Amino acid sequence: MRNDIKNHLTVEQSLAPASRTAAVDGTGVDLAGFDAAMVVIDAGASGGTTPSFTFEVEDSDDDSTYAAVAAADLDGTEPVITGANDEAVYTLGYHGIKRYLRVAITAVSGTSPTLLCSASVVRGKGRVKP
């Protein structure tokens, strides 16, 4: 095995790339076998009049009952994306102990708001290398 970053990380999609117009929960990502995780939110162009999209990182023990991750368990701040800060990549470190992690868009406001976006969970420090 080569000693490069690809062989030490895995990336799983939580929110598939799409044009978002309403609140939506991403797919849970299993962190079993990994000791580190990072969330990557990729925001494209927003549309509509004064669009605003709030993202929230959520965790779960059972991939069924999710709750917002406490601020103390995140390295970084969950973004609120508007027309002023769209077309950017946002990263958040996760320090929690739950097995599953997902990204949700929890609030959408504005007139006819749209946002091209996706979110992934990067898993690292695998107990067994991918």
Q: CA-to-CA distance for 57 and 66, rounded, in angstroms?
A: 10
Q: What is the pLDDT of residues 40-61, one digit of tens each?
A: 999 999 999 999 999 999 999 9
Question: Average per-residue pLDDT in the chain?
Answer: 94
Average pLDDT of span 117-121: 98
Q: What is the pLDDT of residues 56-76, one digit of tens each?
A: 999 999 999 999 999 999 999
- For the chain, which domains are there? 22-126 (2.60.120.1110)
Q: pTM for the full model? A: 0.93
Q: CA-to-CA distance for 123 and 32, rounded, in angstroms?
A: 10
Q: CA-to-CA distance for 112 and 6, rounded, in angstroms?
A: 39
State which H helix or E strand residue 97 sits in.
none
